[in-house]
Structure 1
Amino acid sequence: MDLSAIRARFPQLDGDLVYLDNAAGGLMPATSIQAIQEYLTRYGSINSMAGHVRGAEVLALKQRARAATALFLNAQPHEVAIGQSATALAFRLSAAFARLWGSGDEVIISELDHEADASPWRELERVGVTVKVWPARDDLTLHPDDLKPLLTPRTRLLAFTAASNALGVRTPLQEAAQLARQNGTWTIVDAVHLASHELPDVQAWGLDFLMFSPYKVFAPHLGALYVRGELLAGLPVPKLEFVADDDITKLEHGTPQFELQAGWLATLDYLRELGGAESLDRAALQAAYARIHALEAPLAEQLLQGLQRHPQVTVYGPQAADQRVGTVGFRVNGETPDQTAHRLSERGVSVAAGHFYAVMPIRKLGLYPDGLVRASLAHYTSADDVERLLAAL
């Protein structure tokens, strides 16, 4: 598919919309919308019950969604929980940690984190856990050398983002995970912002936990959590009494949103098509993400350089595109981010304004609570979209 064919798959792009708020939520291909409608038409709110035909079909769909999500992460199906949001799943994991740890134990979070990967671990302070912050440098980058002094024999968890949702900054993911592993520390990575730009790989990255949101990856509103299989049984998650300790469904409180899982499966099939593959496997997803990178990389350069050239615009974070995914946080001199976003919206350009739940980096910049203007790309973004933003500015 060329870009025009890709854009034609997303009905939200009909008309004159310039959508540059992909960090808040991606657009969805028509096939994903159709899959949700077809599911509801056939099943309504039928639950997953093996004892009758349609209940068994719903159960099979649930199993397919878990297996496909595991494939997306390079994990095993029994290691992947699907829930209503990454935040909700993180708080469930936090409740388990609160039963494992207490006074004298330590947790490290990063200064770039979204609060979904910070507030759940701060909750552990209620049971005596010390929470430390891996500081970002002045250019809003994280460095392993700044992490090393924070690691001690009592460090139980390192939590950090793979890419800043407010600034697009990439982090030293594998190096940090390796330092934690050498220290005997578990690592959880927030891949919510990265997952639409780079295919996650929990095996290559050497992680114990990872969370992401399919709705940022061109799918419906869902969250997913990877738990390394060896750890699952030992996590005392609050759960229904009959659910086994080694059963990943102990993290999936309540009835799943089956219709949204159907949409997520259709999105993964769209990615298969984007990669030009006949069947959905890791190679197909890798090919899709190679295509995504090829489409996004020149636009990220165009966006960053265009904003840097503007005399009334301040760009925050590292000034090189290779240190970012296709997301830029900036401000226009003399007006608030809300004012800028509203003025751009009047010109047909959709961007975001605020702190985006990334409170720590916004505070470090001295811009809390108003925050930034954020422009964020996806693979269906066009060069004309970026040029219209720059022209409107």
Structure 2
Amino acid sequence: MSVMFCRPFAFAVVALAAVAGAWPRASLTQELSGAEREEAAKALMRPVCADASLREKIAGDMIARGGEYEKATAKWDMDVVCEQIDLPTDPVHDTADRADDASHNNWIHDARWSPDGKLIATAGSDGTVRLWDVATGTTVRTIDINTFAAAEKNDEIKLPSMPKADDRVRVRAARFLGDGRRLVVAADSHPVRIFDIASGEPVAEVPYVQADPEWDMPPFIETTPNGLVVLGGYRGEIVVYDPEAKAERYRLPGMPNDYPKFAISEAAGYIATTARGTDRSVIVQLRKLETGALIWEAEAEGEPSAYSVAFSRDGARLAVAVRGNAYVYATAENKLINTLPVYPTFGSFDVTFTADGQRLIAALRHAQLWDIASGKRVHHFGPFSDLCHAIDVSPDGKYLVTGHMGSDGRIWEIDSGTFFRRLGKNVYPPG
């Protein structure tokens, strides 16, 4: 399955055609498949990638023909295209079952490893959660959220996020809870539910009242090894909930007109939250996990809200994605270690640390590995540029799983960047 013809790649090729005054006839032929059109575009770009002066000329033309966005991103986009152009699109272990019922058939919003590293859970826009056997790349269980009664909602309200009557429910998150025998699932127009992995049946609901009753998207969720569930909905408070005790532990302030961003480190006893700063900054907050008490605050520039927050495994480092930068802090010292320029302007992306906490993985259009000390990008994970929604590092620290706008999960070797295994088939989502 070929990669998607991403915006920076397409823009670079269009700019090249304008500069060169030529375009391969085959690339415009509608009868060609997507893979053939893409290969024609790559053939056009390879000589450019090998010629620094021509690359500079094309980037300059992109800037001249564009606006502020192109001025900020033209060189970055061109570099990314050339760095990725000949990376393999097929995994080393291509064991995916390509049957229609053996895969998601729409976006994957979440992808997470089980605590023992033997399973991966993926949550999709097709209304299902799939549990994959890592060793074989095959589905071992499918949970169809559409089979469960939806929470009550006003059918007269049709916000842009709400599914139409004939749409399947979008599952936004699936997170292993505690020792991995249970799974917490958040889906549109449904309560947050806890499922038993062995049976695939729901065993409990996690109470959360949306601040806006007309908002059908679920709260963001995080889970911990000791069995806590943390939830934060649009405009709502952050709730730390204990499913065993069936009780809230405490609440923290959310974000006005936004989803709150948060992360948990039970190893260090921290919870990180964010608060709105100025029009061009966000307040990063480190708190005690036991009580929610504030330890320190820092200001990250770029926008008044963050895209994602993550701790290193030992809790010694905290990463916060704001606008195009990833800010990395030392938690004990309340010290900014480095700012990684993931993207030259705005762009929502996820962040996670490698197992040793020395490198950061950031995902915008695709996943990238960054060295924190030097602030340099180490490599790209594949040539795929189709909006990366989820990233998670395996318990042994060797592998990365990614979820995308495409319908396949992808497993990567972190150190080499090798595309290791595909979960399901890559289907461009309808519409």
Common topology (TM > 0.5): no
Q: Which bracket does the TM-score occupy, shorter chain normalised?
A: under 0.3
Structure having greater relative contact order (Cα 8 Å, sep ≥ 6): 1
- Which one has a larger percent helix, Structure 1 or Structure 2? 1
TM-score (normalised: structure 1): 0.25
